[in-house]
């Protein structure tokens, strides 16, 4: 029952959330909107990986989630630093 | 019993993530979108991760889950603050219904240095005392 619930309710809802965020990623009027939505997309990916590791009963997937959390932070910091320095005139 | 707890935690977490993504679509302004995203995504992913830790009752999985939650809780405010600062510098327009902007005219747009009001700045008082 738990596996069926996770597979047929939770994972589709998380996929719907990812699709909604991806619409904002495509639509976003400025670059910085895209940076935020990319960060949130990776967070949803971490949640999907966690639920998928319960469904398949493999706990090794959580290593990937940890690396993704690290990379999301570094990517957001790097992109925002780049965008800030671009508008700066000494 | 354990299954019920896992179902409850993953449902709450998924609900938070779904509401945050709807807010990301519907909010009219960049700063409102940022506030919706950072808070709700941290709580939602934390709940889903907690459900995973309850399902695998192993020490190694729980340690990994705690590391991920701890890392999310530390990095989300830092990256949120950094990206909000960048948006303010690059001249992101506020929503037309915004009531208060306390940072208005206090940042130098070219050098990105914060300056306070001239009346209550410490430099003025020191100069007056010396005179």
Written as six digits, the tokens of B117 are 């009001």
Looking at chain A, the number of H-run helices and the number of E-run strands are 4, 0
Inter-chain touch B52–A90, beta carbons under 8 Å: no
Query: Are B86 and A32 spatial neighbours (Cβ–Cβ below 8 Å)?
Result: yes
Closest CA to A21 of B17, B93, B82, B40: B17
Q: How far apart are CA A40 and CA A22, in angstroms?
A: 10
Task: Specify the pLDDT at position A87.
Answer: 64
Predicted model pTM: 0.85
Interface with chain B: mutation pick from A7, A41, A69, A83, highest number of B CBs within 10 Å? A69
Q: How many CB pairs under 8 A join A and B?
A: 148
What is the DSSP code (8-state) at residue A9? I
Kindly report the nearest CA distance between residue B104 and chain A, in angstroms.
18
> Please, which residues have CB within 8 angstroms of residue B111's CB and are 6 or more apart in sequence?
A88, A90
pLDDT tens digits, one per residue of B15-58? 999 999 999 999 888 888 988 888 888 899 999 999 999 999 89
Question: What is the SS3 assignment for chain B?
Answer: CHHHHHHHHHHHHHHHHHHHHHHHHHCCCHHHHHHHHHHHHHHHHHHHHHHHHHHCCCHHHHHHHHHHHHHHHHHHHHHHHHHHHHHHHCCCCCCCCCCCCCCCCCECCCCCCECCCCCCCHHHHHHHHHC
Average pLDDT rounded to a whole number, residues B5-15: 94
Place of tokens 């940042």: B107
pLDDT above 90 for B117: no
pLDDT above 60 for B128: no
Average pLDDT rounded to a whole number, residues B75-98: 85
What is the DSSP code (8-state) at residue A28? -
B45-66 burial, b for 16+ CB within 10 Å, e for fewer? Answer: bbbbbbbbbbbbeeeebeebbe
Count of domains for chain A: 1
Inter-chain touch B90–A33, beta carbons under 8 Å: no
Domain residues for the domain of A20 are 2-86
């Amino acid at each position: 029952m738990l596996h069926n619930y996770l597979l047929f309710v939770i994972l589709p809802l998380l996929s719907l959330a990812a699709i909604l965020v991806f619409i904002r990623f495509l639509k976003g009027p400025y670059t910085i909107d895209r940076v935020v939505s990319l960060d949130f997309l990776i967070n949803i990916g971490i949640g999907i990986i966690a639920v998928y590791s319960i469904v398949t009963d493999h706990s090794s997937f959580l290593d990937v989630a940890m690396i993704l959390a690290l990379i999301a932070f570094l990517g957001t910091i790097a992109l925002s630093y780049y965008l800030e320095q671009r508008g700066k005139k000494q | 019993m354990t299954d019920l707890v896992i179902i409850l935690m993953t449902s709450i977490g998924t609900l938070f993530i779904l509401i945050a993504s709807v807010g990301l679509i519907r909010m009219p302004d960049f700063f409102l979108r940022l506030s919706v995203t950072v808070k709700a995504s941290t709580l939602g992913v934390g709940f889903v991760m907690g459900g995973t830790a309850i399902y695998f009752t192993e020490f190694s999985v729980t340690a990994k889950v705690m590391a991920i939650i701890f890392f999310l809780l530390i990095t989300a405010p830092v990256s949120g603050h950094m990206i909000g600062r960048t948006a303010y510098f690059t001249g992101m327009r506020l929503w037309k219904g915004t009531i208060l902007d306390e940072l208005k005219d206090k940042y130098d747009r070219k050098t990105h240095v914060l300056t306070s009001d001239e009346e209550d700045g410490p430099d003025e008082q020191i100069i007056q005392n010396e005179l």
